[in-house]
Structure 1
Amino acid sequence: MAGRIVLLLACLFLLSSARAELSESKRAMIQELFPKATVIDDKLSDFPVYPVYQLQELLGYAYESADLSRLQGFAGKPIQLLVGLDARGRFTGVRVLDHHEPVFLHGLGEQPLFDFVDQYTGRSLREQILVDTSNSSRSSKDPDGNVVHFDGVSRATVSVLIVNDTVLSSALKVARAKLEGFSQATPTRARPDFFEPLSWQELIDRGYLSHWQVAKDTVEQALGRPLSDYPGTPEPRPGEPFTELFYGYVNSPMVGRNLLGQEGYAQLREKAGDDAKILVVMSRGRFTHLSEDFVPASAPDRLGMVQNNLSLELRDLNMFGGSIQLQADSMPEFAQQTLFRVGGNAGFNPGAAATLRLNVELARNHLMVDRTTLDVPVAFPEKLFETVEVAPLPEQTRAPVWVGLWKERWWQISLLVSGLAVLTVFFAKQRTLSRYPALVHRFRWGFLFFTLFFIGFYAQGQLSVVNIYTLFLAIWDGFSLDVFLLDPILFILWTYTFITLFIWGRGLFCGWLCPFGALQEMAAWLGEKLRFPQAKVPERWHRRLILLKYPILLGLVGTAFYSLTLAEQLAEVEPFKTGITLFFVRYWPFVAYAVGLLLVGMFIHKFYCRYLCPLGAGLAVLGRLRLFSWLDRVELCGSPCQHCKNECGINAIRKDGRIDYDECIQCLECVVILNAEDECVDKRLQNRKRERQASILATDAG
């Protein structure tokens, strides 16, 4: 009897614990997502969703994204969302539960993030949702009704792309597990050993290449008007179709090798990657599958694809050329031919039925445009494919988020890498080039402008101490390189900075690649031009103050392990976000702090860099492992000559002439002085000695 009572109490305890899982605040948020809900169940034991009902009718499911997607945000932690998905696969809303994205927490504010997630309300999983990083229009919809463009958030592109990927990939898992009409067919892949040489007509006859055409009458019936009403569209000649398409799955050797030849097929697979699913489309007739203004390597506006009621993404590979050419025997000529990569959050199953959608858009005049969509069935022969035992998750079949970001910013990456290459050559040749002071000074100022305006203001490449403790937390929680690849500019800068720390020390970054450092340099120059008195911090106090930035660094890193949110707030000791990321457009105390540091820097050269910068402290610690000491010294440096020390604006030269590499910003001014015949005391004494010897020799000769 006592045992039964204990069992009953245990069951009651477990039941109450399960019921307590859904807090009142979370229940209220779900109620907002489903206003008509009368019953909100606790999280299911077999799948992490909250069923929502109106009486006995299932309205949909709410779920927390962290239960289904662990994609890390820009701060190294997942962005946690509460998502509502109705029974038809439409989003009822998205709410932000928790995040650590610095640009929203301590920069733009959280409202832009909330505005972004509000765009999901009413949208469907059957639509292809793309984030418009140009921020040109809000939640616009393409004429085909399948592609929706969301407004991005300026200066927060990475964060919102992660949000979009998190929402779509997690919602797709819920839909496939719980909603009707979203279940996945048995996954397939092309049979790698299925091949025999076939001509073009044999490929068509056996169905390995599909052929579809539509007559003029069909299009006129769909539009409700004769083609003669559209003056910009030439009418087909008698017996000629309005449009004619040929398409096939290139991954199948039966199709790919016969169309491209063995060499072309192998080269395409190598360039596109083994995971790429490629569709070839060829067209002829009065209306082709690409518009006249189509941009290569982009998604077509006339052609879309749907499978299992979910929109797929078609993107031009832009790889025709060289050995990758259509070369099947007896192949006719085409007006257009394209190799498309097929993807998207839903993933593409080549052995299952799908539909190509040709979007016909014809203008009656400059004001009125008529549109219709023609469905093209896609069903390739089963013998081309073999089944795959386990269906991979969508995020495993698609390229990582960072791949698209690197492709999108290719020209910025190219310019940055070129700039870093030039800087590396300059530093490697510094002893030779420093003999030309004017060249060194012009190059330095030119590169500082490049750093401030391109790397900083435009490419948003300001490194921060936040990146340091993000790295530590990533190592602590389980390192993933994908987090750091999300911003190609920051990744390249960090990689370059880390490598050069062991060659030149911290100075290469702090003196040449830090945008706020460049801004301080310009402020100091302006202060001198305005004849502001330049304060010299006494040596005794300077040696103490330069140590201040190290406890600041330790405090920030230590706080990050206790509370990342608090650490991000304390990281406002860096004025980088205010001055570089947000262009000084921010709440006035932050602006006052950043501007105040620049004003102080007009009297005390690079005051912030010298005494407060935790990032500089972190780089100085690693910089002590440098392999070389590039800055030459001579016997008279410091005893008695103090010329280099007096000219060093950041006071990184000690009285005895030694270079303090922990503080040096590698401006190369001391190197220029050391090589200047009229400035270096040692050079001047040597010249006088040579002149006296020459004079004695001349006297003796006379």
Structure 2
Amino acid sequence: MRSCRSYAAACLPVRAGWLRAALLITILLLILPAQAGQLDRAALETYFPPPLVVGEKDDAVPVWPILKQQAGSYEVFAYAFESIDLAPIPGFGGTPPDLLVALAPDGTFRDVRVISQHEPVFLEGLGPEPLVAFVEQYAGLSARQPIRVGRPNARSAGASPQTTVDGISMATASTRVINQSILASALAVARQKLGFGAGAVGLKVEARTDLDQPLGLPELLARGWVRRLTVTNGDAAAAFKGTGVEDRADGPPDAVLTDLYVAYLNVPAIGRNLLGQLRFDALMRELGPGNHAVMVVSAGPEEAPENPIGERFVLGAVPDRLAVSQGGLIVNARDMAVERRDAGLPEGLPPGNWTILRIDQAAAFDPSAPWTLTETVVRERGQILSEKIARTFTVETTLPADLFTRIKPADGPSWIDPWIARAPELGLVGLMLAVLVPVLARQRGLVANRRRFADFRLVFLALTLGFVGWYAQAQLSIVTLVGLVRAATATHDLAFLLYDPPSLLLWAFTLAALVVWGRGTFCGWMCPFGALQECVALLARPLRIQPITVPAGLDRVLRQVKYGVLAGILVAAAAGSPLADTVSEIEPFKTAITLYFVRSWPFVAYAGSLLVLNLFVYKGFCRYLCPLGAALAVLGRVRVLDWIPRRAECGSPCQLCKVRCRYGAIAPSGRIDYPECFQCMDCVTIIQDPAQCVPQVIARKRTRRAAPQPVPVA
């Protein structure tokens, strides 16, 4: 353990550096502007060309109404907004993606477009095309439903197309951030404009099947389980008063114009009693789970033009004169085209026409809450240029809550999902760390056995490359530090870290190891690209490649390059410059690990050249260029232990460990240069092995020479 005085002296430069960095961040926080949307009316008109019209931007919330002319007037076609204005959730580049979202009045997505994004995997890796295709999946989905990112081709594998979008391989965390940006911004608009919010999302309401009982129509009406909407000539005349068409109906004021019976059929005590057992069972099979059926029976004059399900009613269509609404929003309801002949309806229902309207589960319809059926009566005024005048009549249905089971969505933030989905990966990564720590800590155990420890290290590095890197996609990167700087200077949000659980677990372990042991625990054991270099280096001997010894002076200069690269990246990130993303490409991690070398040839050639360099200069990239390694080396200076054992003879006269150290992390004096040490443990194996450690070998020989020799017997 170093002394308190020497430890404090070593920490002073670090503290001064942190104070300068904190001062720089404070200044930037004051001068950098907050991020906001970038589209004006002219730009929006390119996305919504005629016949659509871009309305006036809302004063309270940054939303543009998109209007469409309908029957001589303009109706809202969609509400358009940029996600960055309402849900600026930082991505892995530290900058929130900006998405143009068009939300229909019923809560469905008209369209989603990418305006800008700084996700590293979509900038130079996969390219923007997979992201464009990803957001196109949202068109037609409902903001009332919880939309989750599945695995690639999840829909074709059976996932619900109403609640699942196909993910992108190698971009799982980024797509989850983008999904959350779309949903969070859409719900913010829905609360302000559409009358529903996060509480309605994901709620599952099902009719109870254990409350069936025989009930006649009079009792169903008395309980309010079947509702009746009757419009008389007098009602219509009062509604159309002052329009000039109030006297168009024939007959006395109390004569019935339309007479409708309305019932929610999913409840067995209603559906079975109205349809009969066979037809109810057939309807439920055809309807499917999660969907709803509403029956409307007409008892009014069939030939009357105002009858909404009269002779001109089109089977299988969305009725233009009937509408179901809830919470002020129209719910999409379509005729199921159920066979009308031999319906077998029970006695008591009128003999008129009837329809069963299907409400899809994507509409987030809640039958246990009040809902309304609206009938529209239309009359025309004028003969040459006729004008249509419409009036609506409504009836509300409120069913008892005990007829249903309500399953609320699990509470918790959106980042909970990836932690649940990636629990197996987290478990295996955690197991690897649980094995590694005691192996490194017990230096007289496995580390002291040269052959067994070499086999262990090779297997462990293969797991780091194959599982941690290529499978779990948990390669730590300077990109995360860029995101942290941008979060400190602009977004003030670190939630993006939570969307990649394996990487966050590795970051937590790495930071803890920095304090105890220094940089080398991650760089030497848990870095997938570092593991790839060590595996490639095994080819040097069979290929008869002799390593190049870099002159000591040049080596010292080259080791400083990585610190310059690190400083350039972090300064560019703090200044909000996109140059930070460009310079970060000095890391080959995205090419070699994240994208499996499936990338444009300059990036593949660069990563390949670093692996070839590794055959001649062992882990040259890590020693001279890696900005992440530089950051860990700086942070690792706060470590509390000089934990690699040394002997008095190390450095003088013994130089064996220095000669064997392929990283050049041992000084001629025998001192360990911890910022450059990768903890391969070769020197620990040597010093713990009496057959290798030179001082121990010499001491053993001296002991044998000093021992008394037996006297030969005459």
Contact 1:516 / 1:576 at 8 angstroms: preserved in 2? yes
Match among 99, 109, 115 for residue 81 of structure 1: 99
SS, match of residue 538 in structure 2: helix
CA deviations over 1:244-266 (Å, ceiling 9, x no partner): xxxxxxxxxxxxxxxxxxxxxxx
Contact 2:122 / 2:131 at 8 angstroms: preserved in 1? yes
Q: CA 1:701–1:108 in structure 2 vs 1: closer, same or farther (change >3 Å)? A: farther
Q: CA 1:345–1:443 in structure 2 vs 1: closer, same or farther (change >3 Å)? A: farther
Matches within 5 A, 1:153-164: 153-164=168-179
Bigger relative CO (Cα 8 Å, ≥ 6 apart): 2
Give the Å deviation of 1:431.
3.1
Partner of 2:505: 492
> Aligned AA for 1:459?
A
> Aligned AA for 2:615?
M
Q: CA RMSD in A?
A: 4.2
SS, match of residue 602 in structure 1: helix
Q: Distance in 1 between matches of 2:605 and 2:676?
A: 26
Q: Distance in 2 between matches of 1:529 and 1:52?
A: 68
Question: Quick check: 1:678 aligned with 2:668?
Answer: no
TM-score after normalising by structure 1: 0.67
Contact 1:528 / 1:534 at 8 angstroms: preserved in 2? no
Match among 75, 100, 110 for residue 128 of structure 2: 110
> Aligned AA for 1:419?
M
Q: Distance in 2 between matches of 1:607 and 1:598?
A: 9
Q: Distance in 2 between matches of 1:664 and 1:22?
A: 46
Q: Distance in 2 between matches of 1:66 and 1:22?
A: 6
Higher deviation after alignment, 430-439 or 629-638: 430-439
Q: Distance in 2 between matches of 1:76 and 1:57?
A: 41
SS, match of residue 528 in structure 1: coil
SS, match of residue 87 in structure 2: coil
Percent of aligned positions with the same letter in both sequences? 41
Contact 2:188 / 2:197 at 8 angstroms: preserved in 1? no
Match among 667, 680, 684 for residue 654 of structure 1: 667
Partner of 1:222: 283
Partner of 2:591: 578
Match among 50, 74, 96 for residue 57 of structure 1: 74
Give the Å deviation of 1:613.
0.7
Give the Å deviation of 1:630.
1.5
Partner of 2:526: 513
Q: Distance in 2 between matches of 1:141 and 1:644?
A: 57
Matches within 5 A, 1:171-570: 171-179=186-194, 182-183=195-196, 216-219=277-280, 221-222=282-283, 352=369, 381=401, 398-477=411-490, 479-570=492-583
Q: Distance in 2 between matches of 1:640 and 1:571?
A: 43
Partner of 2:48: 34
SS, match of residue 444 in structure 2: helix
SS, match of residue 645 in structure 1: helix
Q: Distance in 1 between matches of 2:51 and 2:713?
A: 112
SS, match of residue 448 in structure 2: coil
CA deviations over 1:208-252 (Å, ceiling 9, x no partner): xx9868564134553899xxxxxxxxxxxxxxxx99xxxxxxxxx
> Aligned AA for 2:278?
D
Contact 1:74 / 1:101 at 8 angstroms: preserved in 2? yes
Contact 1:533 / 1:603 at 8 angstroms: preserved in 2? yes
Give the Å deviation of 1:28.
5.4
CA deviations over 1:332-368 (Å, ceiling 9, x no partner): xxxxxxxxxxxx999999983599xxxxxxxxxxxxx
Give the Å deviation of 1:533.
1.4
TM-score after normalising by structure 2: 0.66
Partner of 2:162: 147
Give the Å deviation of 1:177.
2.9
Q: CA 1:185–1:443 in structure 2 vs 1: closer, same or farther (change >3 Å)? A: closer
Q: Distance in 2 between matches of 1:22 and 1:681?
A: 68
Which residues of structure 1 form unaligned runs of 5+?
A: 1-20, 188-199, 226-241, 244-305, 312-343, 356-376, 385-393
Contact 1:135 / 1:154 at 8 angstroms: preserved in 2? no
Which residues of structure 2 form unaligned runs of 5+?
A: 1-35, 201-209, 212-222, 224-266, 290-325, 333-360, 373-396
> Aligned AA for 1:413?
L
Contact 2:187 / 2:198 at 8 angstroms: preserved in 1? no
Q: CA 1:633–1:650 in structure 2 vs 1: closer, same or farther (change >3 Å)? A: same
Q: Distance in 1 between matches of 2:473 and 2:199?
A: 45
SS, match of residue 147 in structure 1: coil
CA deviations over 1:398-431 (Å, ceiling 9, x no partner): 5212101000011111111011000011111123
Give the Å deviation of 1:565.
2.3
Give the Å deviation of 1:610.
0.8
Partner of 1:168: 183
Contact 1:129 / 1:148 at 8 angstroms: preserved in 2? yes
Give the Å deviation of 1:139.
11
Q: CA 1:626–1:22 in structure 2 vs 1: closer, same or farther (change >3 Å)? A: closer
Partner of 1:667: 680
Give the Å deviation of 1:642.
1.5
Q: CA 1:692–1:408 in structure 2 vs 1: closer, same or farther (change >3 Å)? A: same
Structure with higher Rg: it is 2
Q: Distance in 1 between matches of 2:713 and 2:493?
A: 78
Contact 2:37 / 2:82 at 8 angstroms: preserved in 1? no
Q: CA 1:625–1:47 in structure 2 vs 1: closer, same or farther (change >3 Å)? A: closer
Q: CA 1:32–1:149 in structure 2 vs 1: closer, same or farther (change >3 Å)? A: farther
Q: Distance in 2 between matches of 1:425 and 1:164?
A: 40
SS, match of residue 516 in structure 2: coil
SS, match of residue 629 in structure 1: coil
Give the Å deviation of 1:682.
0.2
CA deviations over 1:480-503 (Å, ceiling 9, x no partner): 442211100010000000001111
Partner of 1:314: none
> Aligned AA for 1:97?
I
SS, match of residue 474 in structure 2: coil
Question: Quick check: 1:45 aligned with 2:71?
Answer: no
Q: CA 1:101–1:668 in structure 2 vs 1: closer, same or farther (change >3 Å)? A: same
Partner of 2:656: 643
Contact 2:83 / 2:185 at 8 angstroms: preserved in 1? yes
Give the Å deviation of 1:624.
1.2
> Aligned AA for 1:585?
V
Partner of 1:319: none
Q: Distance in 2 between matches of 1:400 and 1:454?
A: 28
> Aligned AA for 2:137?
Q
Q: CA 1:676–1:599 in structure 2 vs 1: closer, same or farther (change >3 Å)? A: same
Q: Distance in 1 between matches of 2:510 and 2:452?
A: 24
> Aligned AA for 1:609?
C
Contact 1:22 / 1:42 at 8 angstroms: preserved in 2? no
Contact 2:90 / 2:487 at 8 angstroms: preserved in 1? no
Give the Å deviation of 1:687.
0.6
Partner of 2:336: none
Q: CA 1:437–1:186 in structure 2 vs 1: closer, same or farther (change >3 Å)? A: closer
Partner of 1:324: none
Q: Distance in 1 between matches of 2:198 and 2:423?
A: 37
Match among 592, 602, 605 for residue 589 of structure 1: 602
> Aligned AA for 1:159?
S
Q: Distance in 2 between matches of 1:68 and 1:612?
A: 39
Q: Distance in 1 between matches of 2:619 and 2:174?
A: 32
Q: Distance in 1 between matches of 2:527 and 2:551?
A: 26
Q: CA 1:552–1:44 in structure 2 vs 1: closer, same or farther (change >3 Å)? A: same
Q: CA 1:211–1:505 in structure 2 vs 1: closer, same or farther (change >3 Å)? A: farther
Match among 119, 124, 131 for residue 149 of structure 2: 131
Q: CA 1:632–1:117 in structure 2 vs 1: closer, same or farther (change >3 Å)? A: same
Partner of 2:614: 601
